[in-house]
Amino acid sequence: MHAQSGRLWEDVQASALARWRLALLEFQAALASLRRLVVGWAIALVLLAVAISVGTVAAAETLAIRTTVDRAQWLLFFASVFSAVAGACAWAAWRQFRQRFTGLEQTLGELREDLAWIRSVIEHFDAQKKE
């Protein structure tokens, strides 16, 4: 009986170590996914800044000459459009991140199952000792 409990304890330790390593790997994958999100948002922000500063001024100047709408109103219009596009880019990056990011859900679920199993085995051995 003592040998069985010793082997059980070794198995539990090996299982816990394997689960810990799996959790670390999943955490690293989650960080990589988070990095991709940050890069996507950074690109969206850079594109927004460039587009607003260069494109809107040139287009607003041209349109102000050819229409009755003044340059300031065209600048406001273009700033609104580019802001909406940047928001859509950020939203798409967020959506992709949420689809790919699972966090540690699976590992934590498996750890809960392992703990339940360990408790049942310990209760079983305790019941046998009492008999």
CA nearest neighbour of 87 among 120, 23, 41, 33: 41
**DSSP secondary structure letters along 39-100:** HHHHHHHHHHHHIIIIIHHHHHHHHHHHSSS-HHHHHHHHHHHHHHHHHHHHHHHHHHHHHH
For 103, left (φ over 0), alpha (ψ -120 to 50), or beta? Answer: left
Domain borders along the chain are 2-130
pLDDT in tens, 59-94: 889 999 999 999 999 989 988 998 899 899 999 998
Is the pLDDT score of 103 beyond 70? no
Q: Does the pTM exceed 0.75? A: no
pLDDT in tens, 113-130: 878 887 887 787 777 777
Average pLDDT over residues 98-113: 76
